[in-house]
Structures are given as structure tokens and as C-alpha cells.
Structure 1
Amino acid sequence: MRRVEQVMGFPVSLRIDDGDASDEAADAVFGWLREVDARFSPFKPDSEVSRLDRGELEPHELSPDLVEVLDLCEDYRVATRGAFQVRLPGRGLDPCAMVKGWSVQRAADLLTARGAARFCLNAGGDVASVGGPWRVGVRHPEQADRLCQVLEIADGAVATSARYERGDHIVDGRTGRPATGLLSMTVVAASLTEADATATAAFAMGPEGIEWAAAREGCEVFAVDAEHRVFRTPGLPVAA
């Protein structure tokens, strides 16, 4: 079973290879992601995030999901010494850098709970998978029609932060300026929550983020810096 929908501003594709894959499971995945977009988007004035940013909600009124997301954001802010930020000067609250990976991992967990044993969920190039092997290409940071690496994963996740889709959109919270020290940062981890947040946080840190991400337990890294130097951790699951 295969399905593609546009959610949260990017294409989300789901492939389930189980023989008894159901449309109901796919409906649940995309329904959850649409719910996340409605509740957590800083671009929707009636979302929970927007209401919190305007001071219309007290901390005790927040949903457990938003509390979890904000706690994760704070963990990464502390771990990066402020490079990862969801409140930048002159801007409103924007937890999107955490919400994407967290919500897609939740969707993958939902599929597993419904009995799916072999699937690949791709959200704008970030992948959560079960029952592989699955081959995941890492796009060349400067040539859209080329790959610079192919990975092979079974149960796990791959996320990439780069400048090629949205330009200099990742900001180093320590300086308030766009992060330009890296061209691409890819992280492989057990969950997409970890992979996506670590890739974004490391990209915000610049070149020092490569060593930081590589030192995180369970993370493998493929990175290209602004000088076109390539870095790979020894355990990176490169496809044969």
C-alpha cells in the first residue's frame, strides 16, 4: 500500500509492504499529521502554539503533547548551549524544528501499534522505517540531481538538515544569524525525533556540530561543511 499527501507544507509518503496493510492505518497516520499541523503550527492563529505565544494559555493549560515538545526543545537548547532555539529575538514561538520529527515518529509508532511490520514513512526527505532493509539516498547539497551517499537502514530513522531547499533558514540561536558553516548534516538514529532534532541542532552549531552530533549516543553522522569536506562516523550504515 502506498500513499502520498501534502501535510505541514511538505510531501509525506507512506509505503507499507505488509500483505494485510489497511487503508485505515494510513488514514490514521495522515489524520494525526493533519491534527499536529492544526495544533502546533505557528502560522495558524488558532493553534495551541500561537495561543501560547500570545499569552492566552497558562502553563497548566497546555496539552501533554505540547509540554513534551517544549521539554524536548529545552533539552536541545541546553545541550547546544543555546544554538538550538525555538524563541529567537524578534520572532514568535516556533517549535517546528522539533515538531516535524517528533510527530512523524509518533505516526510510525502508531503504525507499529496497528501491526504494520514493514513500512517506510518519508516526510519531506526525513525517513522513519521498520522491517528493512530500506535504502535511503542523501541528496548532494549543491546538485539536486545527484546523491552523495546511500544509506541502508532496517528499524530506524534518517534526517537531513541543509540549505538547498529553504536557503539559510536555520539560525544559530547564540548569534541570531543564519548558520552557514555546513552545507548538509545527516543523522541516523533509532527514532526520527532524535535524528531530526540532532541534525537541525548540529547544523545550527556549524562545524562544531559535527563532533557534537557524532558524540550523541546512538547517532551516526554524514556531513558536508562549507569547505566541501565530507565527514562520516565509523558506524554509518552505508549501503553496499
Structure 2
Amino acid sequence: MRAPDSTRRALLGALAGASAAWLTAPALAGPAPALRDRRALMGTWVDLTLDGAPAATLAAARDAAWAEMERLAAMMSRYVPGNPLDRVQQAAGREPVAVPREMLRVMQAAQALAKSTQGAFDITVGALGWQFDETQRFKLPTARQIQSELRFVNYRDLVLNHCECSAWLKRAGMKLDLGGVAKLPILAAGLAAAVQAGAPAAMVNGGGDVLVRSAPGGREWRIGIRDPLAPDRLLAVLPLRQGVVASSGDYERGVTLDGRRWHHVLDPATGYPTAGVRGVTLVGEGVDAVNGLGTAAMVMGPQRGADLLAGTPARQALLVRADGGLWASPGLAARLQPPPGARRVRGLA
């Protein structure tokens, strides 16, 4: 959860103000123009758009949203020394540590997903020493280093106590990475804060995750889904009145060396970046229906990943394989629209 580097900043800017999705507002007939704001948060750019109220009300809603998101991001970032996550890691192998209730809920959701996917999703991958900071020279870890670090990757060795609101890593050397499961709840908290402060229509977009709410009578937001095979282009456009669109892909953080993509989505079983799935997009009414599932599907691979995503009607999904082929749930396939200038969505009948 760091500020975006200059390379990603240029790419984000080229996508008209959205990180892994392009969008347009619902063009509400409000008493004042929409308020738009962008800040670096959680290792990416987060865009906030508010509409449907007087300017002073929207400004107050903006401030409330950023305050809540920044508070939670600082709490759960692995790059903030002395925060609750750092304290849990410093006490690994020794004792449980009291954590804020919001952080415990995120960790409980991660543990539930780890169990349901047999470890395909695992927040203890923080022990793996991959570095994808594009401001520094990338160095491929050695096989010996990865094998050594894999000893500390096991979600079963994270013990959460709901009554005491505590977390305990059983073995010294274990580390957590909440990036794959904390971002959506943080964005959702920001959206809720903005709405509570008086913004009838709101959008928050960060790193491929987009949450929207339309005012009564407002038209739909149009959310662009990036093509993982060509991240500077759109694959499809999704009209959405209210809900969440969560995207995971190997294009967000990583490098390409000798024809192979080394990226930030790691397989907890091997310690290496996933292969076989280039990107996943999920659509749901709320965060709980989609959170972390894109990462799990990328780890599980094209067939098992599609089976996972097809397992419940609470979400709709799109999976892009490494060979460019698409799998889409019937409900989402029917909703997707071609990007501007195209007659159809590539890969869909």
C-alpha cells in the first residue's frame, strides 16, 4: 500500500483518470457540477467522484471519504512501521496482539477465503520477498530464497480471536500482506462516508476496484474494463447503477523478462507468480461477494478458477486466459458492451 511510481502514474493518466478501469459519470442534473478528486493511496491512484448536492456538501463528503480511507489504509498497510499490522508481525512466534475491529474483520474474511479455496488465497504470502517497485532495479529471487521463505507461508498459522479482537502469527518470520483483501473494504468505507455526509451519487475507483452509487433518478455509470493482454485498451464497458466491480490482473505491478511476466499475484503453494490467467473481473452488489476471489482464481488457473467463479449467483465474473480466451458467467456476458469504436466484445459471441 504505497504511492504509485512514475511509470504507473503515466499509464494511469493515459486511462483518463482511472487505474484499471475507465468510466464516465451518470450525468446527474444536480444543483452543482460533480466534484472530482484524486490522491495516491494504497500503492495506486484513487479517484473519487461525487454528485447530486450543493458544492459545500460535496466538499464535506469528499473530506469525510478521504479521512476514512486514509485512516484504514494507514492501519493495514505493510509499509507503515508501528501500525497494528506491523505489531502483529513483530510479535510473531511470541504472543497475540490486539488489533482494531476493522482490521480483524478483514483478516477473518481472508481466513474464510483461504479455507474455502484450500489455501489458493493466503495473506501470509507477505513472507515472500518479491519486490515489484518499478523505481528500483528488479531482481529475480533465487529458488533457494523462495524455498526458504515458503516455510513461513501457511494461513493455518494465523490465529484470530474474535472475543479478544487479537491476531497471532504462530512462528517468528511470518509476515502478512493484506493488499489483496483490504483495499475493497477501505474503498467501501470511503464511499459509505461520502454518502453519509450528503453525496447522493458517488464513485470511488482504486487500482481496478470500482464502487458506485447512483442518486435516485440518476443514470448508470459506465465502467470500462481493461484488457489484460493490452492494458492500455478497453476490453468492454459495463453500465452499473450501484455495486462493485473488482479487477485483478498481472498488469498492475510487475516486469517482463525473457518473455515471462513476473508479477505481484503469488501462488502460496510455489512462491512464484501465477500463470495461466491474465486477469479477472468480478461484479457484485457488495464487497463481500467478490473480495479476494480474483486473486484466488488467478492462483487456481483457468479451469479451476472458472469453476470457483461460477459457484454462486451472488457475483458475476469474467476471466481472461493467458492465450487470450475469455470465460464469462452468462449474467455478466449479457451485460457487457463493446468499448468505444468496437462492434463487439473481443472473445464473446
Q: Show the 5 A alignment for 1:1-240.
A: 1-20=35-54, 21-55=57-91, 59=96, 61-88=98-125, 90=149, 92-131=175-214, 132-167=219-254, 168-207=263-302, 208-236=304-332, 237-239=335-337
Q: 1:31 to 1:193 in 2, by over 3 A?
A: farther
How big is the shift at 1:197? Answer: 1.6
Distance 1:115 1:78 in 2: 39
Q: 1:36 to 1:71 in 2, by over 3 A?
A: same
Distance 1:122 1:58 in 2: 37
Q: Which amino acid aligns with 1:42?
A: R
SS in structure 2 of the partner of residue 111 of structure 1: helix
How big is the shift at 1:58? Answer: 5.3
The percentage of aligned residue pairs carrying the same residue is 29
Distance 2:299 2:185 in 1: 18
Distance 1:103 1:201 in 2: 20
Residues 160, 196 of structure 1: 8 Å contact kept: no
SS in structure 2 of the partner of residue 164 of structure 1: coil
Distance 2:206 2:67 in 1: 14
Q: Which amino acid aligns with 2:265?
A: I
How big is the shift at 1:184? Answer: 0.9
Q: Which amino acid aligns with 2:301?
A: G
Q: Which runs of 5+ in 1 are unaligned?
A: none
Residues 280, 297 of structure 2: 8 Å contact kept: yes
How big is the shift at 1:37? Answer: 2.3
TM-score (norm 2): 0.65
Distance 1:235 1:117 in 2: 28
Q: Which runs of 5+ in 2 are unaligned?
A: 1-34, 128-148, 150-173, 255-262, 339-349
Distance 1:116 1:216 in 2: 32
Residues 53, 198 of structure 2: 8 Å contact kept: no
How big is the shift at 1:114? Answer: 2.6
SS in structure 1 of the partner of residue 232 of structure 2: coil
Q: Which runs of 4+ in 1 moved over 3 A?
A: 56-60
Distance 1:85 1:2 in 2: 35
The count of residues paired between Structure 1 and Structure 2 equals 240
Highest Rg: 1 or 2?
Answer: 2
Distance 1:43 1:70 in 2: 17
RMSD: 1.9
Residues 158, 196 of structure 1: 8 Å contact kept: no
**Deviations 1:68-103 (Å, cap 9, x if unpaired)?**
111001011011110100113526111111110111
Distance 2:48 2:188 in 1: 13
